[in-house]
Structure 1
Amino acid sequence: FADHAVEVARRVIFQVTGRTGDEVDLPASR
Structure 2
Amino acid sequence: MTATFFKSNFLQKRSIIRCISSQLDNVQVG
Percent identical pairs in the alignment equals: 6
Structure 2 gaps, min length 5:
1-5, 24-30
Q: Report the structure number with the largest CA radius of gyration.
A: 2
Q: What's the RMSD between the two structures over aligned residues? A: 0.8
In the TM superposition, 1:1-30 aligns within 5 A as: 1-18=6-23
- What TM-score comes out, normalization by structure 1 length? 0.55
- What TM-score comes out, normalization by structure 2 length? 0.55
Report the structure, 1 or 2, having the larger helix content. Answer: 2
Structure 1 gaps, min length 5:
19-30
Task: Find runs of 4+ consecutive structure 1 residues off by over 6 angstroms.
Answer: none
